[in-house]
């Protein structure tokens, strides 16, 4: 069958586009979160799931959490790239003025790359004349803890886990896993597949409750961020795909 090309491009034509990986990451995080939820519901119904499902559940939840922080990284990096390269496309005069402010106020790309993730959000809000997030803001505090989880997982170092007794929070011998328990044990529902005798982190922590908490709090934070800037969030058109159940 003959194929009719949709567009003929000469050798002299330059085709350019700007990808948006932040959208891919948050879509991935939501999809993986939903897949983990399905396995947990099956476990609740039957009282057990095959070993392969346990492994799949772990993969879904772990990568949902990692993808959520990748989304936060990509979203702020894409905004800065657009501002520094004046890539407003057809966003309008107000957006162009905002991007000029950001580009002029933070013109050192290496300095931007080295800044901690949430510092980049805070500084861009300040450069645009908007109030920064308060550290007491629930979503900001939750995302701070989420980033700590991601950093622990990405730069993992083995450590002893003590199950025989509980240490007092703040003890010098407290492990990082125990610190996460102090911070997060009431933040979301624990992983029902993990046995009660398992340590909170990572076993009882990394379930659908944690992945959903990560996705929802990250979206609350970025929704507020883009609303303060007065520009549309890059994921606005795919919100229906960001369900966590």
Nearest to 101 by CA among 128, 120, 77: 128
- Determine what percent of the chain is predicted with pLDDT higher than 70: 86
Contacting residues for 186 by C-beta, under 8 A, at least 6 apart: none
Tell whether 215 is covered by a domain.
yes
Structure letter (DSSP) for residue 92? -
Tell whether 202 is covered by a domain.
yes
Tell whether 5 is covered by a domain.
no
More confident residue, 211 or 162: 211
Does pLDDT of 1 surpass 60?
A: no
Lowest pLDDT segment from 82-96, 127-141, 217-231: 82-96
Highest averaged pLDDT of the listed ranges 92-101, 161-170, 212-221: 212-221
In contact, 154 and 66? CB cutoff 8 Å:
yes
Tell whether 7 is covered by a domain.
no
Nearest to 141 by CA among 77, 184, 191, 203: 184
- Determine what percent of the chain is predicted with pLDDT higher than 90: 71
Q: How far is CA 233 from CA 11, 90, 214, in A?
A: 35, 15, 18
Does pLDDT of 188 surpass 70?
A: yes
Helices (H), ranges, the chain: 21-46, 51-84, 93-105, 109-114, 117-127, 138-154, 176-184, 208-229
Does pLDDT of 165 surpass 60?
A: no
Tell whether 239 is covered by a domain.
no
Average pLDDT over residues 75-88: 88
Tell whether 10 is covered by a domain.
no
Does pLDDT of 91 surpass 60?
A: no
Highest averaged pLDDT of the listed ranges 5-19, 93-107, 231-245: 231-245
Average pLDDT over residues 33-51: 97
Does pLDDT of 115 surpass 50?
A: yes
Mean pLDDT, the chain, rounded, equals 89
> What's the confidence (pLDDT) of residue 135?
94
Tell whether 84 is covered by a domain.
yes
User: How many angstroms from the chain centroid is the CA of residue 27?
Assistant: 10
What is the domain count for the chain?
A: 1
Q: How far is CA 210 from CA 37, 62, 76, 92, 129, in A?
A: 11, 10, 23, 38, 34
Does pLDDT of 150 surpass 70?
A: yes
Average pLDDT over residues 46-72: 97
Nearest to 23 by CA among 219, 177, 225: 219
More confident residue, 96 or 43: 43
Tell whether 244 is covered by a domain.
no
Q: How far is CA 45 from CA 153, 196, 206, in A?
A: 31, 18, 20
Look up the domain containing 150 and give its range: 21-234
């Amino acid at each position: 069958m003959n194929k009719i090309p949709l567009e003929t491009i000469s050798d002299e034509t330059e085709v350019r586009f700007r990808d948006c990986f932040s959208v891919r990451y948050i879509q991935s995080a939501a999809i993986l979160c939903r897949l983990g939820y399905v396995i947990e519901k099956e476990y609740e119904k039957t009282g057990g799931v095959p070993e392969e499902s346990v492994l799949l559940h772990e993969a879904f939840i772990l990568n949902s959490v990692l993808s959520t922080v990748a989304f936060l990284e990509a979203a702020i990096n894409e905004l800065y790239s657009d501002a520094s390269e004046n890539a407003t496309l057809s966003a309008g005069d107000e957006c162009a003025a905002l991007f000029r402010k950001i580009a002029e106020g933070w013109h050192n790309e290496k300095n931007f790359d080295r800044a901690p993730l949430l510092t980049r959000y805070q500084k861009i809000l300040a450069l645009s004349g908007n109030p920064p997030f308060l550290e007491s803001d629930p979503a900001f505090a939750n995302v701070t803890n989420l980033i700590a989880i991601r950093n622990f997982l990405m730069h993992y170092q083995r450590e002893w886990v003590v199950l025989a007794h509980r240490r007092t929070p703040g003890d010098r011998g407290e492990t990082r896993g125990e610190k996460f328990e102090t911070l997060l044990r009431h933040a979301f529902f624990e992983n029902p597949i993990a046995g009660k005798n398992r340590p909170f982190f990572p076993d009882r922590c990394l379930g659908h409750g944690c992945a959903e908490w990560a996705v929802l709090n990250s979206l609350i934070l970025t929704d507020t961020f883009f609303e303060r800037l007065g520009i549309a969030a890059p994921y606005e058109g795919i919100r229906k795909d960001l369900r966590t159940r």
